[in-house]
Amino acid sequence: MFARTFALCLLMAFFGLFVMAREQVSSPKTNVDTIDSLLGAHDPTFLAQRSPVSSDLEFFRRVSLDLCGSIPTADEASAFALNSDPGKRQKMIDHLLGSQAHVWHMAEVLDVWWMERRPEKQIKSNQWNIWLREQIRGGEPLDFIIRDILQSDGVQKENRPASRFFLDRDFEPNLVAKDVARLFLGANLQCAQCHDHPRIEDYTQEKYFGLFAFLSRTRQFDDPKSKMAVLAEKAEGETSFVSVFDKAKVQKKTPPKLPGRKEISDPVLAKGMEYITAPAKDIREIPRYSRRGQLAGLMAQGGYDPFARNLANRLWALVMGRGLVHPLDLHHSANPPSHPALLDHLTQELIHVQFDHRAFLKGIVSSNAYQRSSRPLSGAQNTFIEAKSDSGNGWRMMPLRPLGPETYARSILQGTGWTESQKKAMIATAKTESEASEDALQLRMVPQMAPLIHELKSQPGAVEEFDARLDQALFLGNNGHIRNLIASGNLEQRAMALTDPEVICNLLYRSVLTRNATREEQDDWRPLIQKALASKQPREAMREMIWALIASAEFRFAS
């Protein structure tokens, strides 16, 4: 009963949002950077209520979660806090962006963005994720990756995983057109399939079907020879539409046309020259001119502003907690960015770095805005959610952000010491360098993360949003998987090897929450740790302490 009572007393409310008192460092006197300036740093209210710079450990936990999808180890946190190099933050950013952990994390981000946890049908999700990691590891820019996705037909073995975006949607033309617009252009045009949007003037049927025309000639083809689903495309077929509100049912036609651009004319080909491979029974037709291929080249490049703005907004939201345009798929004139000049700047910056996501993210996480504390100044109001384009007061402090399912799961493995114990075991038994590599470690983590991700993930096809539910709290409190991770991790062993309650308390807090315990927390924990160490089952008591921190609200959020 002692252990359970202790844990429940220490457990912070799972659903609560809080601000934890932390050690503070003085804010350096630096020039206001571009992002701060465009957020409104010349506004007296912004300046008066802007939070100070985050502490070293607050920053280190935040940037590790955002760039690598996991909290750092206790030893890494201690080393970073003790490092007196004034350039250590910038060096850590470079280190994290260059790590294999970042490759895995960014591949997971893109997978959730673009596949939205849809079940695998034609392409194994593992093959798709390996392909994404190869692109990121090789430094492929995001526009090239998206171009490959839009152009892939699933035929070539080396590039077949890229076709998952289309094939695992069964290439249902309306679903594909909707998701291309929503995920790559930030415009949810679904309602415009049947009529002009009743509330959003920008979302018209003509825009929807102009995009649809690039895709309408493509179909999914089940190849009888390879026994695989691939994409085929006709050389003819025009797109027409009628509004459900049009009583006269007048058919309108539209050629391929990107929203905001002029229509595209098909080339005139000599009769009999329309196909590389003409349609026939059990034969995949291949046109000499591909409308879908035109879409990839015209849309996924810096010259098309909606494409670049959508990616810039999504990458900002990835590390800052919320898009400048929110929701992310509702870019339109009636839903302007909270800070239009900043989104313009970020869009041009993404184009300038040629869609290199590492260079782009480096600029954001190096900024004053990103490195501010999540704790407001005394008396300051947190108007982050209500930030308006004319108030200039958004992001005066870093908002609390719930961890995504993969990041939360990987951080649990790290926080319990499971990851470190596995790493040491791999190094001790490895016969080759690859057997002890980061990839090998991440592969070991996948089955351990799966039950946690399952409990926290969104429904297939749904936008990934934080949804704290009772079943999640019950899972954290009662499921044996987390307790098994604690038992098999090395944090319990490291704590049991110590005798000083204060040292034990700081080790637990640094391992799980990436900070030392406050003086008040030390006072609360000291008698409990002493009692636990003197009990007949000290290991069980220590596991309950670790569990209490893992299940806390502070652990569940990035601050």
CB 313 within 8 A of CB 323: yes
Q: What is the separation of C-alpha 3 from the centre of its chain, rounded to a whole number of angstroms? A: 36
* pLDDT the model gives residue 379: 56
Exposed (0-12), middle (13-18) or buried (19+): which is 109, by Cβ within 10 Å?
A: buried
pTM: 0.91
Confidence of residue 381 (pLDDT cuts 50, 70, 90): low
* pLDDT the model gives residue 516: 95
Other Cβ atoms within 10 Å of 260 Cβ, number: 12
| Collapsed DSSP state (helix, strand, coil) of residue 106 | helix
Helix (H), strand (E) at residue 383: none
To which residue do tokens 């470190």 refer?
A: 420
Which of 77-86, 159-168, 453-462 shows the lowest per-residue confidence on average (mean pLDDT)?
453-462
State the Cα–Cα distance between residues 198 and 350, nearest whole angstrom.
Answer: 33
> For the segment 51-105, what is each residue's pLDDT rounded down to a tens digit?
899 999 999 999 999 999 999 999 999 999 999 999 999 999 999 999 999 999 9
CA dihedral in degrees (393, 553, 507, 60; nearest 10)?
-30
Q: Inform me whether the pLDDT recorded for 109 exceeds 50.
A: yes
Q: What is the separation of C-alpha 297 from the centre of its chain, rounded to a whole number of angstroms? A: 25
State the Cα–Cα distance between residues 324 and 340, nearest whole angstrom.
Answer: 8
Mean pLDDT within 499-505: 95
State the Cα–Cα distance between residues 366 and 25, nearest whole angstrom.
Answer: 17
> For the segment 9-53, what is each residue's pLDDT rounded down to a tens digit?
443 333 333 333 333 333 333 344 899 889 886 777 777 788 899
67 versus 389: which is more confidently predicted? Answer: 67
- Among the listed residues 537, 536, 541, the one whose alpha carbon sits nearest the alpha carbon of residue 501: 541
Which of 8-22, 137-151, 498-512, 518-532 shows the lowest per-residue confidence on average (mean pLDDT)?
8-22
Which of 23-37, 288-302, 353-367 shows the lowest per-residue confidence on average (mean pLDDT)?
23-37
At residue 220, what are phi and psi to the nearest 5 degrees?
-85, 130
CB 550 within 8 A of CB 416: yes
Q: Inform me whether the pLDDT recorded for 184 exceeds 80.
A: yes
Proportion of the chain in helix, strand, coil states, percent, rounded to 5: 55, 5, 40
- Mean predicted lDDT score pLDDT of the chain: 88
Q: Inform me whether the pLDDT recorded for 469 exceeds 60.
A: yes
* pLDDT the model gives residue 380: 53
- Domain definitions of the chain by residue range: 1-19+400-559, 102-299
At residue 283, what are phi and psi to the nearest 5 degrees?
-120, 135
378 versus 557: which is more confidently predicted? Answer: 557
State the Cα–Cα distance between residues 183 and 197, nearest whole angstrom.
Answer: 18
Confidence of residue 378 (pLDDT cuts 50, 70, 90): low
State the Cα–Cα distance between residues 214 and 255, nearest whole angstrom.
Answer: 8
